[in-house]
């Protein structure tokens, strides 16, 4: 096993206070390495998405530490976190989150431009990313004309823009049929094994276990197995 590129150490997340206090996570410790697919499972309300958001530096833990590539990012100021996210993370969401007015190519290209890549270079890199997910033939199609699987492949290509070492996927198969969902999951595994990405997937889909190297289960905000 390679050294972890991402760790959470005794992470707790509490929402609200007093009678409205909710403990979403309690003392969660986990690791994620390059070339690994980690599957995070558990019932609704178990804290899966909260954990993924803390792993991706979108949410801060109430207590505990988040270590990214050996650096404790838990105490960084808010102004430093966008740079951490841009450098280390690609995100894949259940609802795709594509811009409807942009083509598949443009949806990927815009992320590269936000990362400072020059326009012509960004277009070439975006096409290469679509080729990686077998979607170059749909590069100039708008999301409204793409199937669910094609939208998720576009979202995955966008997540890979700038070659972040960590990919975090939140219910990536929830809006897909079973066959297309399996294809997306196995593509994530291929990215881990062949491109060296560290991949974490939150899913209710039991079939996601086929793509995972390791599974953790959350119950009531704690790791149960």
Structural domains of the chain sorted by starting position, each given as residue range(s) with its CATH number in brackets: 4-99+147-223 (3.40.50.300)
Supply the pLDDT for residue 38: 97
Q: How far apart are CA 87 and CA 103, in angstroms?
A: 25
Phi, psi torsion values for 42, nearest 5 degrees: 150, 165
pLDDT at 105 over 80: yes
Supply the pLDDT for residue 10: 97
CA 156 to mean position of chain CA atoms? 9
Q: Give the closest residue to 153 by CA, choosing from 174, 178, 172, 125.
A: 172
pLDDT at 65 over 70: yes
Token digits for 17?
Answer: 């206070």
Mean per-residue pLDDT for 115-120? 91
**What is the tens place of the pLDDT at every residue in 171-225?**
999 888 989 999 999 999 999 999 999 999 999 888 899 999 999 999 999 998 6
Supply the pLDDT for residue 94: 86
Distances (CA, A) of 16 to 8, 52, 143, 160, 181: 22, 20, 38, 35, 36
Supply the pLDDT for residue 205: 86
Supply the pLDDT for residue 161: 94
User: pLDDT grade, residue 68 (50/70/90)?
Assistant: very high
Q: How far apart are CA 117 and CA 66, in angstroms?
A: 29
Supply the pLDDT for residue 192: 95
Element (H, E) at 126: helix 119-132
């Amino acid at each position: 096993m390679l050294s972890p590129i991402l760790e959470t150490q005794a992470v707790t997340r509490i929402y609200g206070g007093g009678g409205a206090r909710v403990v979403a996570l309690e003392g969660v410790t986990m690791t994620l390495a390059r070339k690994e697919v980690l599957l995070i499972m558990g019932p609704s309300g178990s804290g899966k998405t909260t954990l993924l958001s803390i792993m991706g530096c979108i949410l801060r833990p109430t207590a505990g530490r988040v270590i990214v590539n050996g650096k404790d990012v838990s105490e960084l100021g808010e102004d430093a976190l966008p740079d951490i996210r841009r450098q280390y993370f690609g995100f894949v969401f259940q609802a795709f989150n594509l811009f409807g007015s942009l083509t598949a190519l443009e949806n990927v290209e815009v992320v590269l431009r936000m990362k400072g890549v020059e326009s012509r270079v960004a277009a070439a890199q975006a096409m290469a990313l679509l080729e990686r997910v077998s979607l170059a033939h749909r590069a100039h199609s708008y999301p409204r004309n793409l199937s669910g699987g094609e939208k998720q492949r576009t979202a995955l290509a966008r997540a890979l823009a700038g070659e972040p070492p960590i990919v975090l996927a939140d219910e990536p198969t929830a809006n897909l049929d079973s066959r297309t969902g399996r294809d997306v999951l196995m593509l994530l595994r291929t990215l881990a094994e062949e491109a060296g990405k560290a991949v974490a997937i939150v899913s209710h889909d039991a079939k996601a276990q086929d793509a995972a190297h390791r599974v953790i289960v959350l119950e009531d905000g704690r790791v149960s197995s």
